[in-house]
Amino acid sequence: MTDLLDLPWTEGRADVSPREYVDACLRAIEARDEKVHAFLHVNADADAAALPIAIKDNIVARNMPTTCGSQILRDFVSPFDATVVERLRASGASIVGKTNLDEFAMGSSTEHSAFGPARNPWDLSRVAGGSSGGSAAAVAARMVPAALGSETGGSVRQPAALCGVVGFKPTYGRVSRWGLVAFASGLDQIGVVTKTVRDCAEVFGIIAGHDPRDSTSSTHDVDDYAADVSAGVKGLRFGIVREAVEQLGGEVRANFDAAVDVLRRGGAIIEEASVPSIGYAIAIYYIVANAEASANLSRFDGVRYGHRSERARTLDEVYFDSRGEGFGAEVKRRIMLGTFALSSGYYDAYYGRAQRVRAKLRHEFEEAFRSFDYLVTPTSPEAAFPIGAKTEDPLAMYLNDVFTAPANLVGTPAIAVPSGFNAEGLPLSLQIMGPHFGERALFRAAGFFENETGYWKKAPLST
């Protein structure tokens, strides 16, 4: 008999009572999370609901902790719900827990969590990806049917890829960030992790929409996102981003080529596309994101909320010591880099120039989407790496975002869908990108691919 949590949410919810569904999740968490460490907080009193869902721990939910994976917020309990949480609850969802993440969503492995890393359910000695590693691992390990994550440079898609689940980032502005702790406000967006594309489209439909409390949120109409998941790809035009894949070899390349063949056999038109500046995405991203982070994180000062140093005697010491004790090494590195990029004398050379190249990249994407309905790349340049392999080498860690960061910089939607396994049995993933507000079409292409391949049906064994 198939376990309830092996089923897609849209099927499983029909078979059981809301109470049974939530209890099944709580039992699965109890049984598996000691090994996986996907959760920082479990809501043992979760209400019965047809949608048990986990929320990344940088999104607030009333009366629950929101730590952002940081010592500086370790005792913070939110007095209010984020808009996405409000919307989920209004549609009958229940929050079963808060998921592990890199501190303030800064990282690609969840190893920068102050509370210890999440582990990859396919191989517990490997990373779950990041920064929404807890959300991806929770879904992959069949502890919840769905989870929310956040994206600044790939933090939903990359961990989804490494954990073999669907990860989706909407158009910038499509989902309210009210109640999401800000990292880089010009990039941040809340995304969805599920086992299947249909589940993803449905959960996204619940959280999408305008919110007057987030001035960047769009008034664009919300679509019926799951409407075309079975419509196929015949005649649709897919561009392989040449500059992204030309230097790619090995198992990731072979897997990507095979994935493209699946689309081709479905009647899609496949051609090469060119986005000449895509190779600058990592450089632009780490200037823009760190600059904005250095400003956003200035609010954690030991005065307004968060950790306050006990040894501080003067006001200056309150700032220095609270931040010194509360933030981890990666967060400090980003604040330093971001402050440097914004300092007078360097502003134009770094932040100004990065914004200009970013505008060029946006223009190139717009051009490419004149000829193509979709652009495709692998989601991640490699499968899940061993825990500890990159923690001493920040640049190696940053390079993990090479295929995901462009969509954040440009503000377009993108989805990661499982595309098979490497020789070691670790998941690989196809990334499909679409134009602004092209979400419905994105779910169409991803739905076709999933339906042809069915990789989501395989569950990790090591849990």
Q: Which is nearer to ligand GLN, 280 or 421 (CB)?
A: 280
Q: Which is nearer to ligand GLN, 172 or 183 (CB)?
A: 183
Query: Are the C-beta atoms of 379 and 161 separated by less than 8 Å?
Result: yes
Is 380 among the catalytic positions? Answer: no
Tell the smallest beta-carbon distance from residue 182 to ligand GLN (Å).
Answer: 11
Please return the burial class of 353, using the count of CB atoms within 10 Å of its CB with bins 0-12, 13-18 and 19+: middle
Q: Which is nearer to ligand GLN, 131 or 277 (CB)?
A: 131
Residue ranges that bind ligand GLN, judged by CB under 6 A: 105-108, 131, 150-155, 183, 289, 401
CA distances to 31, 112, 119, 253, 379 from 48, in Å = 20, 33, 28, 44, 35
Catalytic residue among 131, 150, 419, 429: 131
Tell the smallest beta-carbon distance from residue 341 to ligand GLN (Å).
Answer: 14
Those residues whose C-beta lies under 8 Å from the C-beta of residue 55, and which sit 6 or more positions away, are 61, 82, 84, 85, 95, 97, 98, 99, 147, 148
Is 131 among the catalytic positions? Answer: yes
Tell the smallest beta-carbon distance from residue 153 to ligand GLN (Å).
Answer: 3
Catalytic residue among 70, 94, 109, 155: 155
Total Cβ atoms within 10 A of residue 316: 9
Q: Which is nearer to ligand GLN, 328 or 447 (CB)?
A: 328
How far apart are alpha carbons 350 and 342 in whole angstroms? 8
Q: Look at residues 150, 154, 125, 213 and name the one whose alpha carbon lies nearest to residue 433.
A: 154
Those residues whose C-beta lies under 8 Å from the C-beta of residue 23, and which sit 6 or more positions away, are none
Tell the smallest beta-carbon distance from residue 94 to ligand GLN (Å).
Answer: 25
Tell the smallest beta-carbon distance from residue 389 to ligand GLN (Å).
Answer: 15
Of all residues in this chain, which one has the CB nearest to ligand GLN in the complex?
A: 155
Q: Which is nearer to ligand GLN, 188 or 321 (CB)?
A: 188
Is 155 among the catalytic positions? Answer: yes
CA distances to 14, 250, 272, 404 from 376, in Å = 34, 18, 10, 11
Task: Work out the angle at residue 409's Cα, subtended by the Cα atoms of residues 263 and 137, and round it to the nearest 5 degrees.
Answer: 65
For 44-49, the CB contacts below 8 A with 24+ separation are 46/22, 46/94, 46/95, 46/96, 46/97, 47/22, 47/94, 48/17, 48/18, 48/19, 48/21, 48/22, 48/94, 49/18, 49/21, 49/22, 49/92, 49/93, 49/94
Please return the burial class of 16, using the count of CB atoms within 10 Å of its CB with bins 0-12, 13-18 and 19+: middle
Tell the smallest beta-carbon distance from residue 360 to ligand GLN (Å).
Answer: 21
DSSP collapsed to 3 states, 138-206: HHHCCCCCEEEEEECCCCCHHHHHHHCCEEEECCCCCECCCCECCCCCCCCEEEEEECCHHHHHHHHHH
Those residues whose C-beta lies under 8 Å from the C-beta of residue 142, and which sit 6 or more positions away, are 3, 5, 6, 28, 32, 459, 463
Tell the smallest beta-carbon distance from residue 69 to ligand GLN (Å).
Answer: 11
Catalytic residue among 56, 98, 195, 390: 56
Q: Which is nearer to ligand GLN, 152 or 419 (CB)?
A: 152
Q: Which is nearer to ligand GLN, 138 or 162 (CB)?
A: 162
Tell the smallest beta-carbon distance from residue 350 to ligand GLN (Å).
Answer: 16
Q: Which is nearer to ligand GLN, 99 or 108 (CB)?
A: 108
| Residue bearing tokens 């932040």 | 351
Catalytic residues: 56, 131, 155
